[in-house]
Structure 1
């Protein structure tokens, strides 16, 4: 079971948004078991807010899941990200303990946990350490293996550090600086979400601690149960980007050992499955959770 050797002082209260399934237009009873949504490295609870659909220009993906599944959805900021507090320890055990504390503090009944990338490994760590607290896991393009983070993440951190040091006043100025090392407009937009303008402030504030996250790059390539210790016997869905390398074929034997009820859905895209294929992501998640609930 997950336990905190250093005591409760090491826990970071997690900022969150609640997307409720209840509405005047949907009188059906809400299921008691909610869904937790965990973002990836350098993301936040707002990372997957807006996706485009044929019938609506911009909708909240977590709200779609709440509506489809009749379950409340909590989107969390993991430690050292978004509006949550900072702590020098940044690894999967500590992040899983934070989520465990969130579940217990809010008295949530056996939620399903969806996580992308860093959030996926956090969800798996939580499930293996506290299996009684979790009903299902959806791991989005990351597996229970040791695999170093791609080198561009170090470039992203250094680029954000440069923007911060230049004390820019607008996101447009920040974007111009990021263009020197980050060519993708969508990636820059994602990085820019970490810069906020506070009231009466003269320049944009970077919500992340670059030093902490630079030190975390090594640990985030690891996995606490990569040796096959522990087992989670409830349903697990792996969403695998076929153009990504984070869930290689060599990971499947270990996946079957520690997650004996795992399923895999392959999606023809890169690592950013939610952003690149939001409708395929939604359909896979809804089908999986409806089948097992």
Structure 2
């Protein structure tokens, strides 16, 4: 176990009955699902779960249900901007997504929620707590670290193939769409995940086309600019000393051992756990992730 466990200017101050948080007026209203706990603990800090790149709130439904039942807390599954049924809008970067989440917490009057994020959503969570230290009680980061890496060209290939499926006349079935996606991705699970970005639409009797649910051009531009792989915050300025848990997949390279010292600079009270899984550990090993998160949360609320 590793134990190595803000504020920005130019924000509009918003005083609420439960806390003072800040957000910009350009923040958008996010779509979400609420998993209500039938009976709540007295320390009913809710949980907010944020998905990764090209994902949506449905990716975390199993994990969310497990945490709701084990911790007896309300769980909010959020669609980040340009994903799921949340608004499509530029820019797509961590600053903008941070503002959206702060607005979401304010609008729903959530008192010191536990923030959980996977991949891109993990960096959104990190930015939230580093820029506003009172916004959350705990942070859980699934398979991502506060590190700037080179843009992942694989994702631009994915988006190009999704665009090809939408633009190619004659692609009418999921099997045909999957065949096109298989040219750049051999893993059937990942192909299925990517194809959830599309929907089949009937235009005439017996004639179907695919349309994208998300703004693929905005997403490709964000990836190429390094908005997803990047990390602009400096640990000399930003630090969060509340309980923080990183969970990494043993078959993933997103949290390398070399990143651990930097994680400690930003989050002096962090813990690191491994689960047997790849990058999509929140889906493929939701049970073990939920066990680790449950133990972590209970230990830090005693």
TM-score under structure 1 length normalisation: 0.88
Gaps (5+ residues) in structure 1?
50-59
Give the Å deviation of 1:178: 1.6
CA deviation map 1:265-291 (0-9, x unaligned): 022332121233222211111111111
Aligned residues between the structures: 279
CA distance in 2, matches of 1:205, 1:104: 33
Give the Å deviation of 1:5: 6.0
Give the Å deviation of 1:61: 2.4
CA distance in 2, matches of 1:199, 1:164: 13
CA distance in 2, matches of 1:214, 1:127: 27
User: What residue in structure 1 maps to residue 36 of structure 2?
Assistant: 20
1:250 aligns with one of 258, 274, 284: 258
CA distance in 1, matches of 2:232, 2:269: 20
1:44 aligns with one of 35, 44, 56: 56
Between 191-200 and 219-228, the greater mean CA deviation after superposition:
191-200
Q: Is the 8 A contact 2:246 2:272 kept in 1?
A: yes
CA distance in 2, matches of 1:28, 1:209: 38
User: What residue in structure 2 maps to residue 55 of structure 1?
Assistant: none
User: What residue in structure 1 maps to residue 219 of structure 2?
Assistant: 213
Task: Give the match's secondary structure for 2:156.
Answer: helix
Between 196-205 and 70-79, the greater mean CA deviation after superposition:
196-205
Gaps (5+ residues) in structure 2?
1-6, 13-22
CA distance in 1, matches of 2:193, 2:30: 20
User: What residue in structure 1 maps to residue 4 of structure 2?
Assistant: none
User: What residue in structure 2 maps to residue 141 of structure 1?
Assistant: 143
CA RMSD of aligned residues (A): 2.2
Give the Å deviation of 1:203: 2.8
CA deviation map 1:36-65 (0-9, x unaligned): 00000000001133xxxxxxxxxx321111
Q: Is the 8 A contact 2:34 2:74 kept in 1?
A: yes
Change (3 A) 1:253 1:32: same
Task: Give the match's secondary structure for 1:240.
Answer: strand
TM-score under structure 2 length normalisation: 0.85
